[in-house]
Amino acid sequence: YYPEARETQAKRMAARVAYCTRAVREHAPVRDAWTDQKPRIVMADLPFNNAYVSPPWFSEPISVVPTHNTTDIFAPFHLPPDPGVIGCHESVHYVQLLQAGGIHRFFTTVFGSGYTPQLGLEPWFHEGVAVYYETKLQGGIGRLGTPYYEGILAAGVAGRKINGGWLHYLNREPTHGGHYLVASFFVDWLARTHGERKLWDVVGRQANAVLPPFGVNGRFEAVYGKSLSTLLEEFDAELTRRYPVRQRPVGQRMVRQLGSDARYHRTADGWEAVIDRALDRPTTLVVRNAAGAVVVDRLLAEILPGRVLLHPSAAGASGLAFSPDRRSLYFTMLDAGPLFSKSRLVRADLGSGALEVVGDDLHGPGGGLTPDGTHYVFSRAQGDAWGIASLDLRSKSVRWVRRPEPGIYYHAPRVSPDGARILAVRSDATGTALSLVDAASGNVLPPPAVPSGPVLEASWVDADRVVYVAGAQGRMQVFVSDLRDARFRQATHVPFLALHPQSDGRVIRFLHREGWSWTLDEVAFPSGEPVDPRIQERPMFGTMVATAPSVPKLVVRPVRKDEPWDVSFARRSAVGARVAEEPVLSDEPYSQLDGLLVPQVRGPWLVVRDAYSAVLGGSALGGDRLGYHRWAA
């Protein structure tokens, strides 16, 4: 179900989701008319910035994937904000939630879509499996395909023991959620160590369990020969071996401690801005001048009516930029709107600390100011594409610098100091890379030389040099590229993860991951010989599978214990997504009568009035497919 104006986009999404659904169903232990029913997908034309599958719980199962997203929160995940790519993740949920056998299949046939036994498995298993296949089925993109995601985990678990509580969605400590981060690597370890087939054996046993919410630990023991607790202990031992405590190298120093989520920007003359938050500290803006003195230190969340921002967060902030006169700081905040998120452009007065919304909704994440401070350049969403747009801060008019192209997403655009070029991160269904765009014409220019693998968080050093993070030896490090000689240099050797590098040509400051938090660190600007991009140690992710069938088969062979584990198993065993246009069987306008009179849930009831009489009857629930109408009888 899609808006009429999005027909072409809907077909592109349907092709990828159909591929992923078929691929996952090849692994499913229960196959019948119920499990293989046509997925119901709603493409909401709203900045929902999320996607989900509503399970069969007193209604038909349905998947909701928005036509566009306006947040760059997922950019470091090596995951473009593409509805088809995101829909592949949701298709794993859809297939798993329909797995029902035995007595549950009988109840489904007789009484309708009342429930699914898969709800007896906790969210960590559902999300862990979905993240695993999100990467495996799409050529290695996704969370398990980037050293950023692994770096967050490695820094958090180094020197610590994990337990089952780290998998729970209510555990606030693991960044990005333990039921995603820790669970996806646990599932990846299970597939690598014990074979992928056993993941689906657990799903199959859950599908046939008489009491689905109970005995989950026993079902893991029946499949793996070990309890879930024992498997977690072995996983913890593997993490301890793989991620020992590491110290900063010589030449890298900590400037200050930051929170668990942070955004950072620094100018060439030394002004700094940080938006961060910690577990017990709300989102805060701190600005320091070139001398290091604090100019602004304020909470972004306000309480009383009339507040400027309703739900600010460090993760939702982007595009920090100082005005040339250093009187203002601009940033974009993904904030709550009346119904859905808005990308608000905010100006912070550095004299008073007051906030002002100068752009109610940019429809995309932020970028930066032009050198004269009159325009703010940002990403703007239009369906399954992000173009580069420019907002005139005086007239509030918006023009396209580079118009959207289907399947291509430009984010974090930064204008060069001379105003001639725009540096941006470009992502699509194959991954992320740096891109240069002519600021006047919008034409794409030859990109900077960079290492292989995903590239993130780029900024200008001067008109000819750029600094960014990319993979090296399995970790995200800071690199410098010179646009004049098409070569690059590695600037850091951080223990786990670097992000948001900024440089004035003398030093580089960046976010450094330590535990479950960030620190602001500094190294000297590299002066060594640059690296020829044709000469690299090895591909960052190892060797990919070159060819693959249209529906990948299960990998059932456990990897040898002595085989090096320098990437996730999902990435190592990834297959290229074979996406082909799906035939259209019918394409009619939606009617609110669609499925309206068909009972989705039905069943008997009995009322005992007294010792001598009782009433036996039947009941039914139903509604149209999109929920405009619901009825019960």
HEC sequence for 30-63: CCCCCCCCCCCEECCCCCCCCCEEECCCCCCCEE
Q: Which of 11, 23, 15 is nearest to 574 (CA)?
A: 23
Instruction: pLDDT band for 529, please (50, 70, 90 cuts).
Output: low
Tell me if 306 sits within 8 A of 299, measured CB to CB.
no
pLDDT in tens, 193-209: 999 999 999 999 999 99
Give yes or no for a contact between 281 and 258, defined as CB atoms under 8 angstroms apart. Answer: no
Q: Which residue has the tokens 């429930």?
A: 115
Q: Is 381 helix (H, G, I), strand (E, B) or coil?
A: strand
Which region holds residue 49: left if phi is over 0, alpha if psi is between -120 and 50, else beta?
A: left
More reliable by pLDDT, 401 or 546: 401
State pLDDT tens for residues 233-271.
999 999 999 999 999 999 999 999 999 999 999 999 999
Q: What are phi and psi of 182, to 5 degrees?
A: -65, -40
Q: Residue 539 — left, alpha, or beta (φ > 0 → left; ψ -120 to 50 → alpha)?
A: beta
Per-residue pLDDT for 401 more than 90? yes
107 and 70 Cβ atoms separated by less than 8 Å: no
512 versus 562: which is more confidently predicted?
A: 512
Q: Sign of the CA dihedral 574, 578, 584, 585?
A: negative
pLDDT given at position 542: 30
Res 321 pLDDT > 50: yes
- Delimit the domains of the chain by residue range: 4-245+545-572, 253-524, 599-632
Which of 228-232, 316-320, 568-572, 592-596 is predicted with the least confidence, judged by mean pLDDT?
A: 568-572
User: What digits encode the pLDDT tens for the residues 411-439?
Assistant: 999 999 999 999 999 999 988 999 999 99
State residue 438's pLDDT score: 98
**How far from the centroid of its chain's Cα atoms is residue 455's Cα?**
15
Q: What is the pLDDT of residues 87-97, one digit of tens each?
A: 999 999 999 99
CATH assignment of 253-524, among 2.120.10.30, 3.40.50.720, 3.40.50.10900, 2.40.50.140 = 2.120.10.30
Q: Which amino acid is at 347?
A: R
**Each residue of 536-570: pLDDT tens digit?**
433 332 322 222 323 333 233 333 333 333 458 89
Give me the mean pLDDT over the 126-150 stretch. 95
Question: What is the model's pLDDT at position 572?
Answer: 85
- List pLDDT tens digits, range 459-492: 999 999 999 999 998 899 999 999 998 889 999 9
Task: Record the tokens describing residue 190, joined without a space.
Answer: 């299970």
Question: Quick one: which of 27, 1, 31 has its CA closest to 14?
Answer: 1
pLDDT confidence of residue 528: 63
Task: Pull the structure tokens for residue 146.
Answer: 């980037």
514 neighbors 494 (Cβ within 8 angstroms): no
Q: Residue 284, CB half-sphere, CA atoms under 13 Å: how many?
A: 15
pLDDT band at 452 (very low <50, low <70, confident <90, very high): confident
What pLDDT was estimated at residue 545?
27
Q: Which residue carries 């452009």 as its tokens?
A: 345
Using DSSP, state whether 585 is helix, strand or coil.
Answer: coil
pLDDT at 624: 92
Mean confidence (pLDDT) of the chain: 91
Report the alpha-carbon angle 421-427-430, nearest 5.
135
Q: How far is CA 282 from CA 275, 298, 312, 478, 520, in A?
A: 10, 10, 9, 29, 19
Q: Is 480 helix (H, G, I), strand (E, B) or coil?
A: strand
Give, for 2, the enclosing helix (H) or strand (E): none
User: How many residues are there in the chain?
Assistant: 633
Angle at alpha carbon of residue 35, lines to 34 and 38, rounded to 5°: 80
Q: Shortest CA distance to 200 belongs to which of 285, 56, 95, 283?
A: 95
As a whole number of angstroms, the distance between CA 94 and CA 88 comes to: 10
When mean pLDDT is compared over 73-82, 125-134, 543-552, the highest value belongs to: 125-134
Count of CB atoms within 10 A of residue 553's CB?
12
Between 118-127, 140-149, 283-292, the lowest mean confidence (pLDDT) is in 140-149
Give the span between the Cα atoms of 22 and 88, in whole angstroms.
11
- pLDDT tens column, 581-591: 888 888 999 99
For position 552, what pLDDT does the model report?
30
